[in-house]
């Protein structure tokens, strides 16, 4: 059974003493037992910082300076260290945005799921295992009686996210915090995860705080919405009222940006020039057999042509081969067959054998900025490296160009000396994009670059991509699970399933049909910005996730 949550005058400060910067300003709100409250807002608005404070936790370099957090009659902020350790994982549980980063790769899933129950001494190992298996069934995981014997790398992202939910729920917490739990998932997987989360929360009458930048997802999950900007409350109310009749200008901006407009790009000079051609590409992982095929084949017979200034979107479920295609083009995965031509010349299959100018002209922006940015380096050092390596910049010209790149991706100059751990997820992704732009490339391979961004910043990034195409003739291969984003920014859409290209659809035909049935399934699976959409969606529209 859920507990009441009451937050009064919460203030969180970054830095020490009087020089500290307030990042959450005297925030007050309440959640009734069994209700779901959504925290929404731009990256850096204080959503996750506020959610973590409900556990009495502040990120490194931050401190809770004032206020109270009451959960079921317990004053969380007055607890000592031992009291907060008893609270975390027992009274309050947390489901992080990146499940892959939250699991120990050397331990089985069942061992990690049962750990909170063992740490808090709530039940015997046998009872904890039985409860974990029951949760696996409840969360609709495939092969629920045996999936726990696997290791984290042996399950899909959607399955791992649900397994993390089982870890959070095994102690029967009074409050569960869900921090962007479906951000990195494809649309069909997201439906299954949302259904599982919502069913468990409703049946257990758990109180939940759902952190998200995706308003369409929030519309399916939350009873109430709290809108944050720069650590201040801008609006609070019932979900349907906030979505249909927002009272604050900022909320209206968020809603307007939730569905990006189509970016009309005038043909750039030389746009008809063929820049990239992929011929009969095959790729995979593991050793090669006698026929030269990978032990684990991923891509088969991929054909693709991309012209200068063009943007092609690649969509498909997890495991369809989207990212492997981008990595093969980038030289990070060695193809087992076929060839890749760039500007009319054959590319060497791996980075080690490509010329420096080829490395510069093809850049990749990875999906997970957390693992793509060196945690030991400042943002200034991260952006300086490609500028020094490719363009030989030093001194004042180097510093000036770093400033231009930060402005280009809408990041403040004050972030120069921070490390990635001091940035929000959306800010880190923008640093990754700025690093790619530093090389002045001809082609940018974008792997889910807006998945971690809020709607306003995501829309700004799409406008930036359109501007780069117009002014510089930069081409994009845009991998995404967000159909709205792909339609907004791309001239054509390539649909992939099981490592094969099923179809390719031009912009002029997006609204025409019928298209390939799998494309139609993906299109229907994009959440709509209204309450009740998930309830109306037939169960058959979201296929069972692959084992």
Predicted confidence at residue 19, as pLDDT, reads 67
Q: How far apart are CA 340 and CA 344, in angstroms?
A: 9
Task: State residue 539's pLDDT score.
Answer: 67
**Is 60 exceeded by the pLDDT of residue 296?**
yes
Q: Quote the Cα angle for 169-180-152, to 5°.
A: 60
Point out which residues pair with 93 in neighbouring strands.
Answer: 176
What is 414-472 written as a DSSP string? GGTT--GGGS-HHHHHHHHHHHHHHT--SEEEEESTTTTS-HHHHHHHHHHHHHHHHHH
**Structure-block tokens of residue 130:** 């039985």
pTM: 0.78
The per-residue pLDDT for range 214-242, each reduced to its tens digit, is 888 999 999 999 999 999 999 999 999 99
Q: What percent of the chain has pLDDT over 70?
A: 94
pLDDT score of 184 = 67
pLDDT digits (tens, 9 = 90+) for 449-498: 877 677 777 777 788 888 888 888 899 999 987 787 888 889 999 999 98
Of the ranges 145-154, 377-386, 522-531, which one carries the lowest mean pLDDT score?
522-531
E strand residue ranges, 35-91: 36-41, 62-71, 74-75
Tell which wins on pLDDT, 167 or 288.
167
How would residue 266 be classed by pLDDT, with cut points 50, 70 and 90? low
- Condensed to tens digits (0 to 9), the pLDDT of residues 91-131 reads 999 998 777 788 999 999 999 999 999 999 999 999 999 99
Structure confidence at residue 547 as a pLDDT band (50, 70, 90): very low
Among the residue ranges 12-21, 303-312, 382-391, the one predicted with the least confidence is 12-21
Query: Mean of the per-residue pLDDT values for the chain?
Result: 89
- pLDDT of residue 26 exceeding 70: yes
The model's confidence at residue 526, banded by pLDDT at 50, 70 and 90, is: confident
Tell me the residue ranges of DSSP E strands in 317-394: 337-342, 345-346, 362-365
Share of the chain above pLDDT 90, in %: 61
Q: Match 């001809």 to its residue by tokens.
A: 442
Instruction: Work out the average pLDDT over 171-197.
Output: 85
């Amino acid at each position: 059974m859920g507990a009441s949550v009451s937050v009064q005058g919460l203030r969180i400060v970054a830095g020490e003493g009087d020089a500290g910067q307030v990042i959450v300003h005297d925030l007050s709100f309440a959640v009734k037992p069994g209700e779901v409250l959504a925290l929404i807002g731009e990256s850096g608005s204080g959503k996750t910082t506020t959610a973590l404070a409900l556990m009495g936790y502040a990120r490194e370099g931050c401190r809770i300076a004032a206020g109270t957090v009451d959960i079921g009659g317990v004053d969380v902020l007055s607890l000592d260290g031992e009291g907060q350790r008893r609270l975390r994982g027992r009274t309050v549980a947390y489901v992080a945005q990146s499940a892959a980063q939250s699991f120990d790769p050397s331990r089985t899933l069942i061992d990690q799921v049962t750990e909170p129950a063992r740490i808090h001494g709530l039940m015997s190992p046998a009872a904890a295992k039985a409860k974990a298996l029951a949760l696996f069934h409840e969360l609709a995981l495939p092969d629920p009686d045996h999936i726990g014997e696997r290791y984290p790398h042996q399950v899909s992202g959607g399955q791992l996210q649900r397994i993390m939910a089982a870890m959070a729920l095994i102690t029967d917490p009074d409050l569960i915090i869900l921090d962007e739990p479906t951000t990195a998932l494809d649309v069909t997987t997201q439906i299954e995860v949302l259904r599982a989360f919502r069913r468990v929360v409703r049946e257990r009458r758990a109180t939940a705080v759902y952190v998200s930048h995706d308003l369409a997802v929030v519309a399916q999950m939350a009873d109430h919405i709290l809108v944050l900007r720069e650590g201040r409350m801008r609006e609070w109310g019932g979900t349907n009222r906030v979505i249909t009749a927002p009272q604050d200008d900022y909320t209206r901006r968020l809603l307007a940006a939730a569905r990006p407009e189509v970016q009309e790009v005038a043909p750039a000079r030389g746009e008809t020039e063929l820049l990239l051609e992929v011929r009969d590409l095959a790729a995979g992982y593991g050793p090669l057999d006698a026929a030269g095929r990978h032990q684990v084949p991923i891509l088969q017979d991929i054909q693709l042509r991309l012209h200068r200034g063009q943007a092609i979107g690649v969509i498909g479920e997890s495991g369809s081969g989207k990212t492997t295609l981008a990595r093969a083009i980038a030289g990070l995965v060695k193809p087992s067959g076929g060839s890749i031509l760039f500007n009319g010349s054959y590319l060497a299959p791996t980075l080690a054998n490509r010329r420096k100018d080829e490395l510069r002209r093809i850049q990749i922006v990875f999906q997970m900025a957390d693992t793509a940015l060196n945690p030991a380096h400042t943002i200034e050092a991260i952006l300086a490296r490609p500028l020094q390596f490719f363009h030989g910049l030093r001194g004042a010209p180097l510093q000036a160009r770093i400033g231009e790149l930060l402005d280009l991706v809408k990041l403040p100059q004050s972030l120069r000396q921070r490390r990635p751990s001091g940035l929000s997820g959306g800010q880190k992704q923008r640093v990754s994009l700025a690093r790619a732009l530093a090389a002045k490339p001809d082609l940018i391979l974008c792997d889910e670059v807006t998945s971690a961004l809020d709607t306003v910043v995501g829309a700004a990034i799409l406008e930036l991509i359109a501007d780069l195409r117009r002014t510089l003739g930069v081409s994009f291969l845009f991998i995404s699970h967000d159909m709205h984003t792909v339609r907004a920014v791309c001239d054509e859409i390539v649909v992939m399933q099981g490592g094969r290209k099923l179809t390719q659809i031009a912009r002029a035909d997006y609204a025409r049909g019928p298209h390939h049935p799998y494309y139609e399934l993906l299109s229907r699976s994009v959440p709509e910005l209204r309450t009740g959409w998930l309830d109306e969606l037939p169960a058959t529209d979201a296929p069972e996730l692959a084992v």
